[in-house]
Amino acid sequence: MKVGVIGAGTMGQGIAKAFAQVEGYEVALCDIKQEWADGGKEKIAKGYARLVEKGKMTQETVDGILAKITPGLKENLCADCDLIVEAAFEDMGVKIAHVTLHVGLGTFRPVKVENVLDHHMHSEFYVVEDAEAKKVNDTKAAGGRVICVGTTSCRTVESASTEDGILQAKTGWTDIFIYPGYKFKILDALITNFHLPESTLVMLVSALAGRENILAAYNEAIREKYRFFSFGDAMFIADDPQPVKKA
């Protein structure tokens, strides 16, 4: 059993790919229009069929969408992509909990001081609702993993958790700064993109994976020409790395 804790925004293609690859599953991914153009019609149709089975869409609606998909379609299908990916994860036994963090620009501000303790983090407002906290705590109690999708949800659950790893349903402000040496309270793994140099987010992923491992991952990404930053590719970081299962 696993629980994916995601923020209020889209999961993104790179993030979904990273999770699917590590866990060894095939997931219908977006850009739906480009996937369709690249010959993935059957894959996309299968994803929409799953939504019909789960009662998240009617067959009539799906038929209308499939009839008009083209690479040049102006209608944005990102919301459909999110539904398809989440439905596929649910079929894998993944519970999905949503949390909210109102991200401030300070998150992306470079660290320019010699001593990281002198770096000032701006406060950000977060929300963790009762039902979402229960999903996370029930999963942990059953021996499952909490996999945060994005540093935003990571900072939220770490801010709202007790020292003994219980996620509290609460709202509030956080100026949490996670850097090497930090002991994670509830997170077991993280899916995130490749961040800007000298950022607090690079320090966060280094706290989980170790600085040398992160440097090696970034060097590999450069060699393989991965896409960097917010709309690029993603990596899966776990405390207990497991062999990649080939789909």
**Average pLDDT value for the chain:** 78
Instruction: Report residue 28's pLDDT band, with 50, 70 and 90 as the boundaries.
Output: very low
pLDDT of residue 243: 47
| pLDDT tens digits along 46-85 | 888 989 998 989 999 999 888 887 766 666 676 777 788 7
d(CA 121, CA 51): 41
> Is the pLDDT reported for residue 220 higher than 80?
yes
Range with top average pLDDT, 15-19, 76-80, 211-215: 211-215
Nearest in space to 124 (alpha carbons), one of 163, 153, 161: 153
d(CA 76, CA 58): 19
Sign, CA dihedral 8-231-201-123, equals negative
CA atoms within 13 A on the CB side of 73: 19
pLDDT of residue 41: 79
Q: What is the reported pTM?
A: 0.72
- Retrieve residue 247's tokens: 């789909």
For residue 52, with 0-12 CB atoms within 10 Å meaning exposed, 13-18 middle and 19 or more buried, which class applies?
Answer: middle
**Residue 161 · residue 185 · CB < 8 Å:** yes
Instruction: Report residue 115's pLDDT band, with 50, 70 and 90 as the boundaries.
Output: low
| pLDDT tens digits along 191-207 | 888 877 777 788 888 89
Beta bridge partners of residue 125, listed in sequence order: 102, 173
- Retrieve residue 70's tokens: 């083209």
| pLDDT tens digits along 135-185 | 999 999 999 999 998 888 999 999 999 999 999 999 999 988 888 899 999
pLDDT of residue 75: 67
> Is the pLDDT reported for residue 23 higher than 50?
no
d(CA 159, CA 98): 15
d(CA 121, CA 106): 6
CA atoms within 13 A on the CB side of 85: 25
Nearest in space to 191 (alpha carbons), one of 144, 158, 233: 233
For residue 40, with 0-12 CB atoms within 10 Å meaning exposed, 13-18 middle and 19 or more buried, which class applies?
Answer: middle
Nearest in space to 92 (alpha carbons), one of 145, 52, 138: 145
> Is the pLDDT reported for residue 188 higher than 90?
yes
